[in-house]
Amino acid sequence: MKKKIIIIGKNSFIGANLFNYLKNRFNTKIYNYQTFLNVRPKLLLNVNYVINCSSNKQYVKKNILKKMILIFKYQKRLKI
């Protein structure tokens, strides 16, 4: 019996290439994030793995900015 895998991130580089790699080996489906939010919960009961390859540009920028500010503050404290 093939393992069932769902990949979230249809438009992402990693998600699309991971799907192409896994589609012949496993029972694999790929969704974009918005479509995945509308998937019936009953469908998820039979899935072995869910791989999330999606990210939001605003989320990435916001987190990177926070990390850069923290690093800058620590550098000032340590006087590097």
Report residue 37 CA to chain centroid gap: 13
What's the domain range around 16? 4-78
3-state SS string over 10-63? CCCHHHHHHHHHHCCCCEEEEECHHHHHCCCHHHHCCCCEEEECCCCHHHHHHH
d(CA 21, CA 78): 46
Q: What is the pLDDT of residue 28?
A: 94
Count of the separate structural domains present in the chain? 1
> Would you write out the chain's pLDDT as a tens digit for each of its 80 residues?
789 999 988 888 889 999 999 999 999 999 988 888 888 878 878 889 889 888 766 666 666 666 666 666 655 555 54
d(CA 26, CA 2): 5
d(CA 51, CA 15): 8
Q: Are 63 and 48 in contact (CB under 8 A)?
A: no
Q: What is the pLDDT of residue 29?
A: 93
